[in-house]
Structure formats: C-alpha cells, structure tokens
Amino acid sequence: MIDDAEVLVIEDDDDVRLGCLQAFALEGVRALGFNSVERMPRALPRDRCLVVVSDIRLPGMDGTTLLRQLVERDPDLPVILITGHGDVQTAVQAMKDGAYDFVQKPFKTCQLVAMTKRALEKRKLALEITQLRHRLAVIGGLESRIIGRAQSITELRELVQKVAAMPTDVMILGETGTGKELIARCLHDLSGRKGPFVALNCGGLPETLFESEIFGHEAGSFSGAAKQRIGKIEHAHGGTLFLDEIESMPMAMQVKFLRVLQERVVERLGSNQLIPVDFRVIAATKADLLALSEEGKFRADLHFRLNVATIDLPPLRARREDIPLLFDTFVNQAAVRLNQAPPPVKDAVIRELLVHNWPGNVRELRNQAERYVLGLRTAPEGAVADGPLSLTSAVEAFERGLIVEELRRNDGNMSRTAVALQVPKTTLFGKIRKHEIPVQNEA
C-alpha cells in the first residue's frame, strides 16, 4: 500500500524498476514500483515524507509532464528523474522547472539510493517547518479563539499550549456552555497530530447504537448492518477522539473502551481482527466523575485512566470582567453571519449583562449577542444558577468590568483610562489593585 511507501518508482523497463526496488529494500527504504504514470496514485498526500523517482520516457504521460503536475500540486515534493543519454538537456530544464535531481542511464543503484535518501531528508525537514509554522500560527491565534483577559483565561491559554504538546490523554471539566469542545479543538490543532479531530457526544446516542458508532461493525454482524462501518475510534487514527459528556457513556461500553485505551487496539462488531489505532483521547464532562464512581455510576478505573491531564474551565460568572469583550466580539460575529450592521453596545446593556449569573455561560452570552443583533430583547431572562448577586457583588463586578474594558480601549494607558472614567489616576490605581487587574502600560 502507498501508506507504507517512502519512494514511488515509475519506470517502464522491468529490469531497471526491479533493480531500483531491490536496492531500496536492501537499504531499508520502503518503495513501490509502477510501469506507467497512469498506474500510480494520482492524489499524493501533501503531509507524507515521500519522494517520486520517474523515468522521463514513459508510455502514456512522460516524466516531465508528471513533474509539472506534481510541482503544481506540491512544490516541496522531491522528484528525481531518470534520463537516457539524449535526454540530458531535457533533465537540466526539468531541474529549472522544479525537479530535485536526475540520474543518467546507466547508473549505479547506490547512487540513486543516496540521492533519494537526501531527498527524503529534505522532504522531512520541509514538513517539519510547515508543521512548526502551523503550530506557531495556531498559538498566535489562540487569543482570538480563547477570548478573555481575566487571569484565569490567561492561565488557561498557557495550560492549553503546554498540554497540547504532550501525548497524554486529557480531561476537560466545565459547566455547560463553557467551551469544552473549543478547548479540545485547540488542543488538537496545537498537538501537531496529522489525523482528524473526531467528536462524539456520548449523551446523544441511544445505548443500542453506541457500540457500533464507536467501535464500528462488519457487514452482516447484526440485523440492518448491510455494509462495513468504520467506528469513531478507528476513524480517529493518527488524530484526536473527543468524547463529550463522557459521564453518559453506558457502563457496558466503559469496560470495552477502557481496554481500547490500555491496549490501543479496536475490534469491530462481528470481527475477530484486532486493529492497532494511534489516537489521543480528550474527554469532557460537567459532572463529578469521582463522585459518580463512588456511587457506582461510572467506572473508577476509566476515570483514573482518562484523568491524566486535567483542564478546568471557569464559569462565566467567575470572570465577569470578560463579559464586555466577549459580548462585543459575539455581536460582531453575529452581524457578519446575519449580514447585518453591528449595533453599538450601550452601557445600559453591559450593566444588565454584568449582573446576570449566566447559568448557560459563554454559550448563553453568544445567544444573547445574536438576539441583540436581531433587535430582540437584550436583558437576560430566566432563573439564575445560584440566585441573584448581592448589591455589593454586582457593583464590584460592574466596576471591574468597566475598568478592564476602558483599559482595553486605551491600550492599557492609565492616564487616558482615568480621564475616560472621570476619576483621579490615584483612585484608578487603587481600584486596579483592589480588583487585581493586570496592567501592562502604567503611563
């Protein structure tokens, strides 16, 4: 299979092709051979450490045409051309067009192997640079994904960057609406794992379908199984499996899933074949799994197996100073999505938002922003999670939120912020210390 290959050799001369493949095999380089361009795979993966070795003169599409197509799709893919004596000028031109190198017939296979190994090293380095640039871009964009200036959010971004690089499984704890899937996706994007991000809500599946959904099944393994199905675990090979509401996983499935976690093999329903899988698990829950395990409602061994690295998400009411920034961001996002002009956010609206207790957390605030763009009622309704705030707490939350927002508008400049809030600079300093607001620019 091409998934196991490092070199693709396209050569119509059977003896030359076989000699190349044997030379690569003796050097421990995995190679596949084809007698024409038409027989090789047309879509080569751009994230693979792969080199193409092709003769220039071939039946059907020739090597130079193949080179142009490959360079257009993937400029970093090394292509080595095999040329006859009369094709040297063509090969030189091919080098200008993007070929890595060429060898002239007759050639020593050791020469081709050494050249190919250098090309593989170059390809590997190019892939590492691309991956590093991607990770740096994701890290740089983390503030635009995990929004907030509260100390807890600053620490959360740092923790996400740290944990993402680790190969360990992760448990995300947080109330409904705090952004558990967002954090899981950030962890995956920063991890450098090449496989997909596969999400499964354990609470959204009936127990009768759960096993087939997560483990997969063979055709005819049960009534209605007309064809083979790849389960979520197998689909996540090379990537991340995100299990939301893990506390809802049926007890019978917990036993089987624990085995998969320990041995990293999966067995489809109706099959006896064990399939090796390389995947990272990120589980999320709003429940206390330890308490559930003590009550016999969740397996303690699965809890301890998953709970290697833990990320605890703060509820919105614990970081009220972020509410103005979040609401403003969500209003602008909703306006773009709804093709509407973003309405100005009035101070009275912010005051209403700051004193609400947000049982639905960031998700509830996002919905509130969309209603605001649509011109619907803006005051949050419904019962709050822990009862109304005391007057003192409401005033302090409002004061802290105003100061943080005004500091943001003035790029952290203390003097301009004091003028905007119409308070002496010494008073502003005192309130910043009282509310423990981080300040970068004290001018």
Where residue 266 sits, what CATH number does that domain have? Answer: 3.40.50.300
Residues 123 and 171 placed together within one structural domain of the fold: no
Where residue 85 sits, what CATH number does that domain have? Answer: 3.40.50.2300
Dihedral of alpha carbons 211, 215, 218, 219, sign = positive
Of 380, 376, 440, 383, nearest in space to 414 by CA? 440
Band of residue 211 on the pLDDT scale cut at 50, 70, 90: confident
pLDDT (0 to 100) of residue 385: 39
The rounded distance, in Å, linking the Cα atoms of 304 and 307 is 5
Residues 163 and 288 placed together within one structural domain of the fold: yes
pLDDT (0 to 100) of residue 243: 94
The rounded distance, in Å, linking the Cα atoms of 55 and 198 is 41
Backbone angles phi, psi at 281, to 5 degrees: -105, 130
Least confident of 70-84, 326-340, 404-418: 404-418
Where residue 336 sits, what CATH number does that domain have? Answer: 1.10.8.60
Exposed, middle or buried: residue 231 (CB in 10 Å: 0-12, 13-18, 19+)? buried
Residue 141 falls inside a structural domain: no
Residues 159 and 114 placed together within one structural domain of the fold: no
Residue 251 falls inside a structural domain: yes
pLDDT (0 to 100) of residue 245: 94
The domain tally of the chain equals 3
Residue 412 falls inside a structural domain: yes
Residue 138 falls inside a structural domain: no
Q: Each residue of 121-136: pLDDT tens digit?
A: 999 888 887 776 666 6
Return the higher-pLDDT residue of 382 and 109.
109
Residues 364 and 400 placed together within one structural domain of the fold: yes
Residues 106 and 179 placed together within one structural domain of the fold: no
User: Largest alpha-carbon pair distance within the chain?
Assistant: 90
> 199: domain range?
149-312
Are residues 124 and 49 in contact, defined by beta-carbon separation less than 8 angstroms? Answer: yes
- In eight-state DSSP terms, residue 295 is T
Backbone angles phi, psi at 309, to 5 degrees: -115, 130
Q: Which amino acid, residue 338?
A: L
Least confident of 200-214, 275-289, 303-317: 200-214
Residues 11 and 41 placed together within one structural domain of the fold: yes
Residues 268 and 330 placed together within one structural domain of the fold: no
Residue 68 falls inside a structural domain: yes
The rounded distance, in Å, linking the Cα atoms of 116 and 271 is 40
Residues 321 and 346 placed together within one structural domain of the fold: yes
Residue 395 falls inside a structural domain: yes
* Boundary residue ending a domain (263, 295, 312): 312
Residues 305 and 283 placed together within one structural domain of the fold: yes
The rounded distance, in Å, linking the Cα atoms of 353 and 401 is 10
Residues 222 and 255 placed together within one structural domain of the fold: yes
Least confident of 7-21, 78-92, 280-294: 78-92
The rounded distance, in Å, linking the Cα atoms of 48 and 28 is 17
Residue 193 falls inside a structural domain: yes
Q: Each residue of 362-410: pLDDT tens digit?
A: 999 999 999 999 988 666 765 443 445 566 666 777 777 778 778 877 8
- Whole-number average pLDDT of the chain: 85
Instruction: Name, in order, each residue with C-beta under 8 angstroms of 275's C-beta and a sequence gap of 6 or more.
Output: 234, 265, 266, 267, 268
* Boundary residue ending a domain (133, 161, 187): 133
Residues 127 and 194 placed together within one structural domain of the fold: no
Q: Which amino acid, residue 243?
A: L
Residue 440 falls inside a structural domain: no
Residues 190 and 321 placed together within one structural domain of the fold: no
pLDDT surpasses 50 at 438:
yes
* Boundary residue ending a domain (133, 168, 201): 133
